[in-house]
Structure 1
């Protein structure tokens, strides 16, 4: 069947104009930088951020910020960028006089930068948050680990194509879907009453993706970390051999080029799930962006509901309430009705951080020491003229606080030296700890697990390293003065501060 030709399919494509313009280098640099930020899940950019990013590359000589703003407007006119007003505060008169905007890549511009076909079919960002890709990636990585050195001819390439296709599709679909939530069309749709009917399904969809991401993606991260350089290189060599074994009728890429592509592909996969010491993993950024999208959807729904309630007349309710008060002849009954309708007027809400002496869940509130809070009067009555008071001195409080901090640092230093004497030790091998030592140890574990390198450096220069056991390892019990805690059998190592300072 012949394709149907429509006038829309024969229209000019103004989005491609910047590729043949006079200042093509400037436009390409701008589009490349915005697209790289888009892949990092950062969508709306200010002209200052774009200009600073291009200047950091050092590829355009004599490029000014005014030229950058002019180029951004040209790209907007061609349809490569969309803009919205930046409501931030101006820091100077020049910024106030200049029209401030933020810019976002349009769907056509994204497809152009990706060099994909069929631009006429692009409608919006599209994309999806499919959880099945995580299962596919996890299965392939597990198969690479389990087969070790046993790969039949053609099997390594089959696993690699399945793995990388699932990874690439998952990343592009997720980036497109998150971007669609931040688009102008989505923001306009979220401001309509019809959005309330879609809110629950959209929130459930995003929450389901976050749960699958936390359940499967972090398992993939652990498996990738357990694949050493030897197994990785052996597997990629098998993939390269399978690729070169294919019969070719024309000259293709050399073995060196294919090897570099395979290494780059593996590095992209590991950086996406694991990250490195310089930056967070793309997995962490995707989880954060999905949670922000959930919060944005909920905020939009709450604003719509408040707007709907704001237009409802309460006259009938107030008239009925007035009649009920008129029927009451007892003052106490009237007080009860007022308390039920309007609440307790004398109640006051105090907020602050409680200084708890223990973290035990079974500790009673009545056993905790009181927290003293000074409350200032709200009375408008002027008090009599009092005598002048001398300036208050807080030197005693500062000195007491200083001694408290020094004591904490000394306790931490003593615990670090004790752990250093033990060397590399597992949780199961630790003796009974004091309560403060247990709390400090849990803080170390939290800081190490939050870091991509699974380590951190203390103020005195000691490096605390954490090794996460495999899933087959049995759990350990940490004994302390305030109870026993069942947890994973982590391995903790403390490196000396003198070595790090040297």
Structure 2
């Protein structure tokens, strides 16, 4: 019976697709167990039902429908007949049809491809280097060992094809990984950081091993042809007999296939002409993906830190507008969101000066705006740049102020740094600069004091003064009058010595 291929896939999209798929999974499992037939009660007991199993009548109807589509084949079941009534009752054995087996194989490959996670195989690079070294050793033997050569080439090609296929799939998936997913931000950042480390490790392995692999390939170029011939001749022994009208022999086909594989392997690690090797292209694409991933992580960190995201704000605002119960409520939300409120503190001409601040724009008289303001955003036309002003007078005034301040500071330092012990109570009145210098000296000296009665002597941080502070009686008091108030505290004997005067 000829079956339409489109009928075989109907059970995937039919109304009871879940029931049909569970039944077909049960038959696929039975085929893996080398069981030829299944009865309806066996399907009911062995299928993996998500919920309660279906009724036997519904199951038999589904089996009949799958048989009609061509996924299953049925035949009368006469093994359990115990009476004439059982013989005349419709009882069937079911098995996968040829088309059903093909569909199950295709769906298994399809599901496996969807769940597949492509990888950058650093181990494959090591295996390729080892296999090439073994091939070089075999090429140096006086008598070729065809079995070992064929085995080595077969393993080499298998590892290389897996490496190339996974690398291509992985680089395609990198584009999806770079996109911003709307899920847990912390999980996305952690995943992308692991992905960056993964790429960095593979790039390092690729750089360190590509040179050695390329050297092996270049060294094998003079002797690779006889090695490929040995592999093709050994492989062609198992080829089926060809017909007379076939022009190309199996050995020739096998040699061409091996030559093409070797060319692909060589092109991955050794440049041909002006084109870079595919390994170099893979490395450049992997390296270019790292900055993109870092940019995504930075964007996610910015989003997580609470910075403004205009697109996210607009999406939230759109949800708010959708939740409005009426147009009036939506208008109130628009006025609040976009600040469409009266702003009469911006006085524009005499016609708006006497209006209250709560006057709506619709009720106010129109404001005449100059066309230049609307076009260029400014009223006054741009003219020539102003001339450079002479700032000599300001410079001289500023220099005079700096000179006066420096003189006052030097006078305050000369008054305090006399080199003679002076009681704080005898200072009298200090001007602004003198009092500032006095506080600075106390700030550098008192932190070194571990006890209130301890005598402290140390040099200032700039190395210009040496300060000795000796506490007097505990009940003594010193008062220093300043421009900002009265400074009061325990009396001390202060000795400030200029280091410059000592050196002189």
TM-score of the superposition, structure 2-length normalised?
0.38
TM-score of the superposition, structure 1-length normalised?
0.38
Q: Over alpha carbons, which structure has the higher Rg? A: 2
